[in-house]
Structure 1
Amino acid sequence: MDFETVVAPPYVAKPLTLLPFTAVMLAPGRVGDPASARALARPYRDVAARLTRWIDQRRASTDTGPAIYLHEYTSNGLTVRGLVGALDVSHRAESLADRAVWPHEAIHPEQAGELADRMLQMDLNPAPILLVHHGAASLRELISQVARSRPDWRYLDRTGQRQRIWAIRDDEVLAEIASHLSEARCLIADGHHRYAAYLRLQENRPGTPWDTGLAMLVDQLDTPLFLGAIHRTLAGTTLAALAQAAREVGADVVEQGRRHALSALDSTHLVLTDGSTWHTVEPRGLEREAAVSWLHDRVLTRLTPAAGTIAYHHNVEDALAAAGTTSPAVLLPSPDFDQVRALVEAGGLLPEKATSFQPKPSLGVLMRPVTDG
Structure 2
Amino acid sequence: MTDALRDGLALHPFRALRPAVDPDRLSRLLCPPYDVIDPDERARLLAGDPDNAVGIILPETIDGTDPYQQAAQRLDRAVSAGLLAVDAAPALYVYEMQEPGASTTRGLLGAVTLRDPADGVILPHENTMAGPVTDRLALMTATEANLEPIYLVYDGGGAASQVVSSVDSQAVIAQATTSDGIRHRLWALTDRRTHQELARDLATRRALIADGHHRYATYRELAQRYNAEQGPGPWDRGLTLLVDSSSYGPQVHAIHRVLSGVALDDVLASAAGAGKVVDVASVEAGMRSAEAVDGFAAVLTDGTRVAVLTDPAGTLAVAASRPDEPASLGRLDVAVLHRGLVEQVLGLPDTVETVGYAHSVEQAIAAARRSGGTAVLLRPTPVAAVAAVAAAGARMPRKSTLFTPKPASGLVMRRFADER
**Distance (whole Å) between structure 1 residues aligned to residue 273 and residue 289 of structure 2:** 21
Summarize the Cα distance change of 1:233–1:358 in structure 2 as closer, same or farther, 3 Å threshold: same
1:216-258 per-position Cα deviation (integer Å, ceiling 9, x unaligned): 1112111221100011111232223322443444x33212221
* CA drift at 1:144: 1.0
* CA drift at 1:111: 3.1
1:330 aligns with 2:329: no
Unpaired runs of 5+ residues, structure 1, are 1-10
Greater shift in the superposed pair: 58-67 or 152-161: 152-161
1:144-171 per-position Cα deviation (integer Å, ceiling 9, x unaligned): 1224433233333465432211111112
How many residues are treated as equivalent by the alignment? 358
Q: What residue number does 2:320 align with?
A: none
1:274 aligns with 2:302: yes
Q: What residue number does 1:126 align with?
A: 147
Tell me if structure 1 keeps the 8 A contact 2:5–2:204.
no
Q: What residue number does 2:209 align with?
A: 188
> Which residue of 250, 254, 272 corresponds with 2:278?
254
Tell me if structure 1 keeps the 8 A contact 2:147–2:413.
yes
1:218 aligns with 2:243: yes
Q: What residue number does 1:64 align with?
A: 88
Q: What residue number does 2:355 align with?
A: 310
1:322-363 per-position Cα deviation (integer Å, ceiling 9, x unaligned): 334940111100110001111121122111111111111222
**Distance (whole Å) between structure 1 residues aligned to residue 5 and residue 223 of structure 2:** 11
1:364 aligns with 2:381: no
What does 1:193-212 align with in structure 2 at a 5 Å threshold? 193-206=214-227, 207-212=232-237
Tell me if structure 1 keeps the 8 A contact 2:260–2:354.
yes
Q: What residue number does 1:155 align with?
A: 176
**Distance (whole Å) between structure 2 residues aligned to residue 156 and residue 360 of structure 1:** 14
* CA drift at 1:138: 4.1
1:55-102 per-position Cα deviation (integer Å, ceiling 9, x unaligned): 44332222111111111122334421111111111x4354xxx31111
Tell me if structure 2 keeps the 8 A contact 1:100–1:183.
no
1:349 aligns with 2:395: yes
1:20 aligns with 2:41: no
**Distance (whole Å) between structure 2 residues aligned to residue 298 and residue 161 of structure 1:** 38
> Which residue of 93, 96, 109 corresponds with 1:84?
109
**Distance (whole Å) between structure 2 residues aligned to residue 260 and residue 157 of structure 1:** 33
Greater shift in the superposed pair: 316-325 or 360-369: 316-325
1:104-146 per-position Cα deviation (integer Å, ceiling 9, x unaligned): 1111234313322220110111110111122124432222122
State the one-letter code of the partner of 2:339: D
1:139 aligns with 2:196: no
Secondary structure of the 1:264 match is helix
Secondary structure of the 2:75 match is helix
Q: What residue number does 2:288 align with?
A: 263
Tell me if structure 1 keeps the 8 A contact 2:71–2:139.
no
TM-score (norm 2): 0.78
**Distance (whole Å) between structure 2 residues aligned to residue 200 and residue 253 of structure 1:** 44
Q: What residue number does 1:291 align with?
A: 333
Q: What residue number does 1:31 align with?
A: 30
Q: What residue number does 2:42 align with?
A: none
**Distance (whole Å) between structure 1 residues aligned to residue 348 and residue 141 of structure 2:** 38
**Distance (whole Å) between structure 2 residues aligned to residue 114 and residue 53 of structure 1:** 22
Summarize the Cα distance change of 1:368–1:299 in structure 2 as closer, same or farther, 3 Å threshold: same
TM-score (norm 1): 0.87
Unpaired runs of 5+ residues, structure 2, are 32-44, 61-66, 318-326
Summarize the Cα distance change of 1:339–1:294 in structure 2 as closer, same or farther, 3 Å threshold: same
**Distance (whole Å) between structure 1 residues aligned to residue 76 and residue 164 of structure 2:** 32
**Distance (whole Å) between structure 2 residues aligned to residue 49 and residue 274 of structure 1:** 44
**Distance (whole Å) between structure 2 residues aligned to residue 48 and residue 256 of structure 1:** 51
* CA drift at 1:282: 2.3
* CA drift at 1:303: 4.2
State the one-letter code of the partner of 2:358: H
Summarize the Cα distance change of 1:372–1:157 in structure 2 as closer, same or farther, 3 Å threshold: same
C-alpha RMSD of the superposition: 2.6
**Distance (whole Å) between structure 1 residues aligned to residue 70 and residue 308 of structure 2:** 52
**Distance (whole Å) between structure 2 residues aligned to residue 256 and residue 156 of structure 1:** 40
**Distance (whole Å) between structure 2 residues aligned to residue 204 and residue 321 of structure 1:** 41
**Distance (whole Å) between structure 2 residues aligned to residue 252 and residue 12 of structure 1:** 45
Sequence identity percentage: 32
